[in-house]
Amino acid sequence: MPQRSRHTRIADDDLALFRRVSRSLQAPPVAVAAPAAPALVIAADASWDEVLDECVRQLGAIAAFIIDDRGLLVAGSGAMPLGTLEGTGARLVIAIHQADHMESAVGGARGITLEFDGQWLTGIRVPTESTPLTVGLFTEAPLDLEARRAVAEAFAPLSAGVA
């Protein structure tokens, strides 16, 4: 029986091909662009309810609501009972007021985000001519800065006339 050589010689062309393939497999990873922040598209003449409905639809929120500075529900939308939104909203307003008094904070709180067992509650303070309103959103993931800004901008025209 003929004996095989333990060492096989690889042709130079094959070595060059293997090197090219190896280099292509070791190429640095391509940077993946972060998903674009959701932009809210809101009609200019939209009501409070319509803006909340669009927040739920466009941001994928579970629920969205507006609460006044006394903790009373102004409007709500989504898959949570209005009573739950009002109770949560009242406590959210208190939490934002408490954040205003933190010694390490400079200026007033503009918002707050809290995690509740897989859901996130974000409160965004919207200034008005007299007293601020708070927009609350329950989402499955925390809202990034751009999404929070988009929400504040969506409510700005509606809150301008509130006295």
Report the CATH number that the domain containing residue 139 is assigned in CATH.
3.30.450.30
65 or 27: which leads in pLDDT: 65
Q: Which domain holds residue 131?
A: 1-163
2 or 111: which leads in pLDDT: 111
8 or 56: which leads in pLDDT: 56
H, E, C per residue of the chain: CCCCCCCCCCCHHHHHHHHHHHHHHCCCCCCCCCCCCCCCCCCCCCCHHHHHHHHHHHHCCCEEEEECCCCCEEEEEECCCHHHHHHHHHHHHHHHHHHHCCCCCCCCCCEEEEEECCEEEEEEEECCCCCCEEEEEEECCCCCHHHHHHHHHHHHHHHCCCC
**pLDDT class for 89, splitting at 50, 70, 90?**
very high
Number of domains in the chain: 1
- Percent of the chain at pLDDT > 70 equals 73
Q: Is the pLDDT of residue 134 over 80?
A: yes
Q: Which of 104-108, 109-113, 133-137 has the highest mean pLDDT?
A: 133-137
Q: Is the pLDDT of residue 8 over 80?
A: no
76 or 25: which leads in pLDDT: 76
